Every structure is written in C-alpha cells, then in structure tokens.
Amino acid sequence: MSAAPQVVALSRDDFHARAGAELTFVYGQQAPDLLQRLEQLIAHHQTDMTSEPRRLWSEQTQMMITYGDSIVEGEDSVPLEVLERFMREHLEDTFSAVHILPFFTWSSDDGFSVIHYRKVSPAVGDWPQVRHLAGRFNLMFDLVINHVSRESLWFIDYLSDTLPGRDYFIELPEQTDVRSVTRPRNTPLLAPVSTRRGMQHVWATFSEDQIDLNFANPDVLIEMVGVLLYYLTQGARLIRLDAIAYLWKELGTSCIHLPQTHAIVRLLRAIMERVAPGALLLTETNVPHHENLSYFGHGDEAHIIYQFTLPPLLLHTLTTGNARALTEWAATLPPLPAGCTYLNFTASHDGVGVRALEGLLPRHDIDALLELMQRFGGFISMKTDSDGQDSPYEINITYFDALKGTRRGADPWQVARFICSQTIMLGLQGIPAVYFHSLLATLNDHEGVTRTGRLRAINRKRWQREALEPLLEAYSTPTHIVFEALTLRLKTRRQEPCFHPDVPQKIIDLGPHFFAFLRGPLPDGRRLLAVHNVTDQPHPLNLPEAYANHHWHDLLGRIDPDLDAPMLKPYRSCWLVSQA
C-alpha cells in the first residue's frame, strides 16, 4: 500500500463551521466572540507554519518515546544534543518520530507539572536543540492541558488575586461532595492553598502540585490554543493531549469523558487541520478500551489513540503462556475510522495501566498479575473509587523486568520473552512506539525510587552514556542482545508495505500457544502472517488450510515455512510474507 492520501488545509469556511459548532455547544452565546479571537490567534501564527499538503503516515512511521535527558554525557553536555548524537550513531533507519516527554520548565512529576509552557528546561537544552531534532525527526510534544504547576505564573496570579490567572482555577468549599468524581489517584481532590483571601481549596486531580485549569472560563481555552500554535511553530508534528479525559468538570458527574471535553478535542483537531495539515493529534486516556475508543469520535477527534489494553494483556499472555485472552480481545477490535489509527506500545514513562483489563480478565487473573509484578520488583499505584475505597491503577516496573519469568517464577527466558513482546507490538495494526528503556532492556531503578520517593521513577532511569556504550558493545549483555534484535526488526518493518497503519488486520486463532494475525492482503495480493509462540516450550506451527498452500517467506529468518509443521521455538516469532 502506498502512503496515506495527502491532507490539505481546512478552508476558512469549513473551519468556521466546525469551530463555531463546538464553541456554541461549550460556551453558548460567547461563541462568536471566541471564534473571532481564535481567528486572530491563527492569523498571528499562520506565517510561521507551512500549509503544504502532507501525508499522515506510512509503514515507515515508527516512534521512540524518551525524556530529553534519558541519556546524558558528562556535566557540561546538553542532553538534547547527546540524545541526537546517540540516535544518529545507533538508530539510523529505525525511527521517523520521537516523543520527547515534557521538556518545559517544571516543578514535579518529571515534567508534567509545567511552570512555563513556552520555556525549555535548561536541564535538557533550549529551543535551538529542539528545532534541530525537529529537522531530523517528526517530534511529538506534550500539551499538558489539564493542569499547571502551582509555581506557574497563572497560579501565582490566583494566589495574589490578580488577573488573568485569578479566574483560571476551580475553587470550592472544603466540604464539597466530590465522591462522584472519577480519580486516577488516591490523594484528596481538593488541595488547600493559602491565598491573599485566606485559605482556599482548589481542584487538583493528580497532585497538590498539579492544579487543574478551569476550561469553563473561555480565556483558559484561548491561552491553551496559543500554546498549541506555538508548539506547531517550533516544529511539533504530533501533539499529545495529556490527561485530556479529565478536562471538563461538572459537579454531580464523574468529570471524565464529558461531552464538553470531546467538543474541545474536536475544536483542537479543526485548528490543527486549519494551520498545519498533516500534524497529528493523540489523546492520552488510560481507561477501559471502549472508553478509549470514544476519542476517535466520528473520525473528527484524535487521529491516534493509545492502545492501552495491549501492555497489561501482553504481560498476562506471556507470564501465563496462554494467548487465549489476547486473541479474543484483538479479534473484537473494530475497523478503524478513516484517518485514524492506534499507537501501539508496551512501555512508556508511566506505569502499566490495569484499568484497561476491566471486563477482559477475571479478577483472580488480574490479582495474580499484580502479585507477580511485585515479586519481580515492581510496585502497584492506587486510585480512589467513588465509594472511597482504593483500587489498583497501574503497575510500576520496567517492561523488561516485568517479563523475567512466568507465574512459576523467574527463569532463563527473560530476554527471549521480552523480544517476543516487542515483536508482537511492532506487527499489530497501527503505529509502533518503543520506549527508550525498552530498547536498552533497562532494569528496575529502585535507587531512583528511593532517591525521589516516587514509584514511577522505577522506569525513568537516566543513563550515563559512558556506562551504556560498553553494554551495547558487549555481545553477551541483555542490553546488546535486545538492542540488536529490536533495531533489526524496526529496520525490517519499515520496508514492509503490509505494516502500513491502514492495512487491515485479521486475528488468526492457532490455539493458546500462539498469537497470530494477518496483515493484508494488499492490492497486489501481498500479505503478511505474524505468528508468535507465547510459551517456554517449542510447538509445531500448523497453518490453517486457507494459508497452508501459500508460498511463505519469513522476514525474520526464524523458520522454513515450506517444512511440514515447522517447529517454532520458545518465544520465537515469524513474519511470513506471501505475494499471492
């Protein structure tokens, strides 16, 4: 399949129609004035951006997720420059896109408590380094849209009762009943703050240092659209809407996925299509799968959503040696709306969310997985439910250490099992995203947890380049083995047209020992059959009759498909291609 059709800029009339409808739904009679203010913002930034047609994606679209300082070198080097050199020397012909996690000035949560949206943290570099990377890769920026740091100028305005920030936050009496609000944390929703007007309590979904913005005030919307446009002028080709599900608040509701939130996502999509055609919008909504799918809208909200079910369900599959649940879930995935796709991943800066398993696995299987992850050195982060009880929200562990064994305990198959997990992810329909620490088989960073007091630090190690390079060069290290295997697969994958995100996917049930799917066929008849042994035992690969008569070739060189029932070794994968 050729690359996706080119997209062109949304016309002024179409933009007015779409934006006007969303603004009217959210803000009523204020909509005409807001539309005029948006047009003024767009006109101010339009000269800095190209409106040339661009393609959305192709089989060569592959993303790496990293912090700006995930790899450092000495005391005087600039981390973003170190990252760029490392990628140039080790990752040529692998990734087309890089998600640089929040690199703005921040006060906590490794960047997600933003102090200033338009300033790069001196700890990682400055805008020239960001723009230089943007010249080599399609960059994804985080638009941390739900909340700001309590050290931000807006919140300082609030504390001092000064415009404009005075009206940017949600202030409620301490005793307000907020039990119906869906929480991703187990900290109090209302954070006490000392202001010029005395002690007040403000809405803080995630932490007392992450104060939620009040989008019922349209000035807040205008401020954040300005930030979005600024990011596009600085080279962002993808925008990640962090914690977007919690954007709109309305007491008496769950305050998650509200209609106003979806309307604002559609508005941001229209703005991007107006000023930067081909730039992509990604929503971050770590929720059960059917809720996550709602952010495609009718093909008019996110271009891309995270495949949040995949990371925990893969852990269950590979630690039980049974692909049944994964096969059944993948077979239920609906056809993708035109111009929409998944971001497939197994690990990121966050933990492995477990909410996505709700309704897919019985409670005892989820509990068994959580207990196993703790045995493998991980932690469990909790959230508070509407009944006031705490329940598991995410597993904090590196994905490599999460696969150090099965339910029977640790075993010698960790490296092979981990490579199998990444190979499954790389082949599924969508865009693959590989976390920097997955490339390097990074172990649990318990020292980081102790130093910071934060459970998520277990998966946010900062590598010293002088310590990393010998591990990459030594043939026997897990770092070398995993890095070589994954980069080879990435280079192979980007040359295979069956991996275009728009190529359809069909799940093939080969029994509990295998997870298998077909990509294609393409117009010329080419198809790809991906098969993965998810167990620690070899098993014969008996293809269904519908596929047995094809002449297959294994892109990974693992098996000879022409043999009668070839054996697939433990945790081995094959990418079988056929031209007809």
How far is residue 155's CA from residue 166's CA, in Å, rounded to a whole number?
Answer: 7
456 annotated as belonging to a binding site for a ligand: yes
Going from the C-alpha of 245 to that of each of 241, 249, 257, 266, the distances in angstroms are 9, 10, 5, 13
242 annotated active-site: yes
Q: How many residues does the chain have?
A: 580
Catalytic residue among 242, 401, 445, 536: 242
Three-state SS for 173? coil
Three-state SS for 228? helix
Amino acid 305 reads I
- DSSP letters for 60-117: T--EEEE-TTSEE-TTTS-HHHHHHHHHHHH-TTT-SEEEE---EEESSGGGTSEEEE
| Nearest partner of 397 among 344, 319, 465, judged by Cα | 319
350 annotated as belonging to a binding site for a ligand: yes
- Is the distance from CB of 448 to CB of 396 less than 8 angstroms? no
How far is residue 168's CA from residue 212's CA, in Å, rounded to a whole number?
Answer: 9
Strand partners, 516: 508, 531
- Is the distance from CB of 573 to CB of 533 less than 8 angstroms? yes
12 annotated as belonging to a binding site for a ligand: no
Going from the C-alpha of 99 to that of each of 95, 450, 459, the distances in angstroms are 11, 27, 16
Q: Within a 10 A sphere around the Cβ of 535, how many other Cβ atoms?
A: 23
266 annotated as belonging to a binding site for a ligand: no
147 annotated as belonging to a binding site for a ligand: yes
User: Which residue ranges are tagged as binding site for substrate?
Assistant: 109, 147, 240-242, 349-350, 456
User: Which residue ranges are tagged as binding site?
Assistant: 109, 147, 240-242, 349-350, 456
The catalytic site residues sit at: 242
